[in-house]
Structure 1
């Protein structure tokens, strides 16, 4: 993947020392590959990838970055892992990311997502060159009233299930650190970012729709879908990551006016129910696509675990102040995802495939995105 540095985001990441927590995961992996393409000097800290196929191994992340393993729930182990790291930018993505696992492991979910975030921020504050921290949470951090309109950054935090509540708590922890330790306009700045239901190649997470479809296709077995009428803001993984990078670029360039919370959700056309997304995935897959059966009651999933029925994000702030825009319509996002998994199943070199998809997305982005924000002059 090495080659000419991509000039998008004004070239601001070229040569920068960047720490990514959670780099062995799906979203952290995509972010790391893009940062490598942008010329960053990368260090990653996370748990080892889970058994089975992983984006981390498929795309050769141990080759392109300084990869270290530590559990963010253990502050001593984390501090030891980053003792010699002096990052200018920290992207905190390490998390327990699964709603249904949070029902099985609630205390561990809070330990990772809440205490783990505090441990990462403590470690970051010891880095003398630190300029920006981006803490990645979730659209599920909001106190979801099942409204039909999108949640804005100033809406209250909440969560009925352990995962959602842990993400609301993560936001409160980050806000407390922002006010207590990142308040100097001349010092490092902290922002939090909230995205919708992200999918894309290389996700093998349990109890997630797109990976479940891929596993069913590869096994040649039908898939039972538990909540077909739940509405989600679906988006390809590169959509929010472009926002995280654009925001970090602004934190580096302009500082404090870009601190605080930000939503990066899809357009209304990307907000569809689970059944519709599954059928679109089936259509894009073509020959060999799995068949589906659906849980048809309106009472939520058959096992009784609560999951939100409808959830939308309002990304007006990111669109007006950062100049960020979604670049992919839902069918194209699904096709990129199907192409990635098909290439992986065929044994192709996924580092090149992944870099090509990032290059395609980068070409779609307006070349002046970095300079297009309408925020008042400082």
Structure 2
């Protein structure tokens, strides 16, 4: 009865389902009994989490920049709920491929939302962006949903643009009483097993461990709001629950970030992993790098107060689960995603969190 059992039997579309976060969300939706359709590019890495999970869903490889096949597939799928997660998600890659980043994150989002206008039974749209969509002044306090959008690098700026596209479609096209409700969700630095992306801290560390060498770390003192992937996904699913329930006050922007204890420096994340996995080694070359913010925090008080959403695992537990996942894969060839999801849900249930007990917030 998680999330009021609203996903059981419901037709849900996930864009970006072959990605790290998208594959975890697809797994959870399947566990909830949803009928999932995925639209994404083929996985870029080998291995990839989506393939490791071997999920039985309707999967379509479509580029969201390609408007006609995207529109045709959304019309055919006719979803009731859409989680839009497809994106170019990497900061460093955005410096090398800025036009791809802008085209995917801004025009791709516009293509998805425009196609959703033709979905007959659609009730809820959740557009997933990032905490990096804020104009980052490197303040010591967290950014709230009403703070100024912006971004230095093409990735961050394009995600601010994605937020503007979503707000425009909400006001211009999804504004009638019977229209789908549209919200955006902004999460922190998400970690967890199954992320094999380039230029990300833990996947780079795991690859270095595989090759018996230390990993190069660009900014060991950079502070980020670290959280396990299941934490933000529980927020997205709670948000979907409210939108399906036709509460229009939830059709706005939402932060889903960790408690203050999750705001840690990069080297603290590495030290926590090393305590569990002694093979982890790192070094800092001291060379100039492309600009990346040194301090970023988000304020999730709105989600905590209005949805009673809160993290389930501590920082150490989330990092520990991440290290455990990669150790199980590298040492035994096991994919422990389902077991970790079950453990996460059990902890949430033991803490009597509203979503785990099936109650509306």
User: TM class, shorter-chain normalised?
Assistant: over 0.9
Is 82-91 or 190-199 further displaced after alignment? 82-91
What residue number does 2:234 align with? 242
Q: C-alpha distance in 2, partners of 1:220/1:89? A: 44
Is 172-181 or 80-89 further displaced after alignment? 80-89
List per-residue Cα deviations over 1:339-367 (Å, max 9, x = no partner).
111222235442xx211111111122235
What residue number does 1:333 align with? 318
What residue number does 2:284 align with? 294
Q: Is residue 36 of structure 1 aligned with residue 46 of structure 2?
A: no
Structure 2 gap segments, 5+ residues each:
none
Give the alignment partner of residue 91 of structure 1, picking from 83, 86, 89: 83
After TM superposition, the score normalised by the length of structure 2 is 0.96
Alignment of 1:232-271 (within 5 A): 232-271=224-263
Q: What is the aligned residue count?
A: 356
Deviation for aligned residue 1:335: 1.3
Secondary structure, in 3 states, of the residue corresponding to 1:84?
A: helix
Q: C-alpha distance in 2, partners of 1:195/1:51? A: 23
Is 205-214 or 363-372 further displaced after alignment? 363-372
Q: Is the 8 A contact 1:323 1:372 kept in 2?
A: no
Q: C-alpha distance in 1, partners of 2:250/2:259? A: 22
Give the alignment partner of residue 155 of structure 2, picking from 155, 160, 163: 163
Deviation for aligned residue 1:223: 1.2
Secondary structure, in 3 states, of the residue corresponding to 2:196?
A: coil
| Change in CA separation of 1:231 and 1:295 when aligned onto 2, cut-off 3 Å | farther
Structure 1 gap segments, 5+ residues each:
1-6, 297-301, 374-378
Q: Is the 8 A contact 1:20 1:93 kept in 2?
A: yes
What residue number does 2:211 align with? 219
Q: C-alpha distance in 2, partners of 1:167/1:75? A: 19
List per-residue Cα deviations over 1:103-151 (Å, max 9, x = no partner).
0000110000000000011111111000000000000000001100000
Q: C-alpha distance in 2, partners of 1:51/1:335? A: 24
Q: Is the 8 A contact 1:18 1:90 kept in 2?
A: yes
Q: C-alpha distance in 2, partners of 1:23/1:271? A: 28
What residue number does 2:172 align with? 180
Is 141-150 or 118-127 further displaced after alignment? 118-127
Give the alignment partner of residue 289 of structure 2, picking from 304, 307, 313: 304
Q: C-alpha distance in 2, partners of 1:305/1:134? A: 31
Q: C-alpha distance in 2, partners of 1:367/1:200? A: 21
Q: C-alpha distance in 2, partners of 1:77/1:285? A: 45
- Name the Cα RMSD after superposition: 1.3
Alignment of 1:136-147 (within 5 A): 136-147=128-139
After TM superposition, the score normalised by the length of structure 1 is 0.92
Q: Is residue 56 of structure 1 aligned with residue 59 of structure 2?
A: no
What residue number does 2:341 align with? 358
What residue number does 1:4 align with? none
Is 255-264 or 74-83 further displaced after alignment? 74-83
List per-residue Cα deviations over 1:68-106 (Å, max 9, x = no partner).
100001101212333311100000000000000000000
Give the alignment partner of residue 121 of structure 1, picking from 110, 113, 117: 113
